[in-house]
Amino acid sequence: MARPEPPVTNGPVTCGSGVPGDRFDPPEDVEVRVPAGPRAVITMRTVAADLAARAEFTLDAVADLRMAVDEACSSLITLARPDTRLTCTFNVHEEHITVTASVLTTGAERLDTDSFGWRVLTTLASDVRMLSATPGQDGDPFRLALRLSVERLGTPLS
Amino acid sequence: MARPEPPVTNGPVTCGSGVPGDRFDPPEDVEVRVPAGPRAVITMRTVAADLAARAEFTLDAVADLRMAVDEACSSLITLARPDTRLTCTFNVHEEHITVTASVLTTGAERLDTDSFGWRVLTTLASDVRMLSATPGQDGDPFRLALRLSVERLGTPLS
Amino acid sequence: MHPDPHDDGVPEPGAAEVAVREAAPGVHVVAVVGDVDAQSLGTVRLGVERALEAGARAVVLDLTGVVLLASAGMTLLLELTDDLRLRGAELLLAGSGRTVRRPLAVTGLDRALALHDDVPAALAAAAPPARHESPQN
Amino acid sequence: MHPDPHDDGVPEPGAAEVAVREAAPGVHVVAVVGDVDAQSLGTVRLGVERALEAGARAVVLDLTGVVLLASAGMTLLLELTDDLRLRGAELLLAGSGRTVRRPLAVTGLDRALALHDDVPAALAAAAPPARHESPQN
Ligand SMILES: Nc1ncnc2c1ncn2[C@@H]1O[C@H](COP(=O)(O)OP(=O)(O)O)[C@@H](O)[C@H]1O
Ligand SMILES: Nc1ncnc2c1ncn2[C@@H]1O[C@H](COP(=O)(O)OP(=O)(O)O)[C@@H](O)[C@H]1O
């Protein structure tokens, strides 16, 4: 067997590379699409929190990520075209999780960066970026995305 | 205000259309894509269980759905082409949740329907179907899908 | 009730459930279970309004059952605090869970709002001899 | 240890953690936390093997911490039961949670396996005077 064998003793012996939470060290990426309505927000923040918990981020980080995803997705869905989807990709890295949330919009919309919601978002997450794509030559509609990261230890309190 | 107002009393008064779990009656559909590896299975069954719990399926149904999704996805990823994704769509209906899981395969693969795993899957879920698509004229590769449903009350014990 | 300017027209049923009870003469507890976010603002407001209509001069908002406190929810807490003060009443918040403490700490709002550990502590702080907010943290 | 024919080569670290302890002379408890599925078969087998190497004639497999029991895991439980019987030992299962009871009930395997409510009950059933499985349900 290739697996190194733990020593045999009469005391407790543990086997296995870890509890379910810590076995997924390498980056993981998950893409989720849901109709761009309020329910979408709950699905997205649940997936985010689950990934963070499984990657053994701190409880503060899990809470911060849930809130950041909630804020980002809640803002985006207000600008989504009817009958389109909210898309989130979650990239789990060693020291942070990056989330990219996007919707199709009816025009060159942007989010209000003077709002309290935006301030909460940028406090909870590091490296928040708004990305927008204008229609391409193939007739793709406008797309507005938010990208944000939350660190493994969560947001330091100021 | 359009909302009907509950009567005022000195006793407990409740407002709101319900706890967080029961506010999503209409069908919901969620699509998730993850690299087709063992971790994918955990993400998929977590999403499934969360949707079922939020739709107030019974605890048995939530457990059955988690297991059925685990069985279906575990089987499919063994046939997936390297560096491709497992895709699941979850459709939440009033009385059941339907899951369609699929992977790209290297050929016209099928799952072994004589296995114990298949028997467990077909016991847990109703209406299990294997669907396969052969390469189209546009060079799409083979795709193998499993569709299954779990009822709101879970699988009756025989 | 006056129309709620914070209902932003999102066509979604309430994300929170609210229960109102009288804990002492003039003191009502409004317990919120679920998410305090843009969708549930109206529900939470309605609960507080019920308490005021029933004669509360102190309202304890029990946030123990809150799953997520979003920015819109935090804004609501500030607004309700101001609203009630203007109307000669008092809003006290109760809840020690991470889902409530964390957003208030991260945004610094814990310095502006009186958050008590639990309902008894909030009720004690609302009692006539000590009718002002006790800044515990 | 003999090579495990049930390791299907999926390149994934173990999905379960297993701890082995001696509860009484010749009686070991193997506690499994996590998923008992295709990925963790080797880990669980290894834990049971440790107990046998250490002289166990009765092994209580504590499934209290099992998150998911997949078909491959149920097959493992059957195989271990047979294995140990052939080797003159005994396997007892302990666990009352839905994550273990439900799959065994749905597949009918609860009629083939002795599942005790908890470790003390399994230990009692393994004690020399009553060294056979007590079919409780
Ligand atoms: N620095 C702050 N501290 C506390 N509350 C704030 C702060 N800034 C804004 N708010 C609250 O947020 C509410 C809305 O602010 P605004 O910037 O318009 O955000 P939004 O557009 O997300 O509602 C205000 O009514 C105020 O009560
Ligand atoms: N009816 C059954 N009851 C209990 N266990 C069974 C049953 N059928 C099969 N098994 C168990 O499942 C194991 C594998 O069976 P198999 O049909 O090859 O499934 P798989 O290919 O999923 O491993 C067998 O070793 C047996 O122990």
Distance from CA of B42 to the nearest CA of D (A): 10
Least confident residue range of B3-12, B25-34, C44-53, C113-122: B3-12
pLDDT at A46 over 80: yes
Partner residue opposite B28 with nearest CB, options A28, A33, A39: A39
Residue A136's pLDDT is what? 67
Q: pLDDT tier at B4 (50, 70, 90 boundaries)?
A: very low
Q: Tell me: pLDDT of A123 over 80.
A: yes
Domain membership flag for residue C3 = no
**What is the residue-averaged pLDDT of chain A?**
83
**What pLDDT is recorded for position B23?**
40
Q: Does the global pTM surpass 0.80?
A: no
Weakest mean pLDDT among A1-10, A111-120, B144-153, D53-62: A1-10
Tell me the mean pLDDT in the region B93-113: 93
D29 touches chain A (CB under 8 A): no
Q: What is the pLDDT of residue A6?
A: 38
Q: Lowest-confidence range among A19-23, A108-112, A115-119, B58-62?
A: A19-23
With contact defined as beta carbons under 8 Å apart, do A100 and A145 qualify? Answer: yes
Q: For residue A131, is it within any domain?
A: yes
Partners of D98 on chain B (C-beta within 8 Å) are 59-60, 63
Query: Does A142 lie at the interface with B, CB-CB under 8 angstroms?
Result: no
Q: C38 — contact with chain A (CB < 8 Å)?
A: yes
B106 lines ligand 2 (CB under 6 A): no
**B26 vs A38, B22, B93, CA distance in Å?**
12, 10, 7
pLDDT tens by residue, D86-106: 999 999 999 999 999 999 999
Residue given tokens 């002492």 in the structure block: C24
With respect to residue A3, please indicate whether it lies within any of the assigned structural domains: no
Decide if pLDDT at B142 tops 70: yes
pLDDT band at A138 (very low <50, low <70, confident <90, very high): low
% residues pLDDT > 70 (chain A): 79
Domain count, chain C: 1
Segment A79-93 mean pLDDT: 95
List the Cα angle A107/A113/A116 in 5-degree steps.
125
Is the pLDDT confidence value at B145 over 80? yes
Q: What CATH number did the domain enclosing B104 receive?
A: 3.30.565.10
CA of D76 to the centre of ligand 2 (A): 9
D31-73 tens-digit pLDDT: 999 999 988 999 999 999 999 999 999 999 999 999 999 999 9
The C-alpha angle with vertex C85 and arms to C84 and C91, in degrees rounded to 5, equals 55
Helix, strand, or coil here: B132?
Answer: strand
Q: Is residue C132 part of a domain?
A: no
Give me the domain span that covers residue C120: 16-125
- Report if residue A13 sits inside a domain: no
pLDDT of residue D124 exceeding 60: yes
Please choose from B75, B111, B116 the residue to mutate so as to test ligand 2's pocket, defined by most ligand atoms within 8 A of CB: B116
CA–CA distance, C48 with C66 (Å, rounded to integer)? 16
Residue A134 sits in which domain range?
29-151
- Alpha carbons A123 and A117: distance in angstroms, whole number: 10
User: Would you say residue A117 has pLDDT above 60?
Assistant: yes
Mean pLDDT value of segment C115-133: 78
Q: What is the DSSP string of D67-129?
A: EEE-HHHHHHHHHHHHHHHHTT-EEEEE--SHHHHHHHHHHTGGGTS-EESSHHHHHHHHSGG
Ligand 1 proximal residues by C-beta, below 6 Å:
A 115-117; C 71, 75, 78-79, 109
- D79 located within any domain: yes
What CATH number does residue D60 fall under?
3.30.750.24
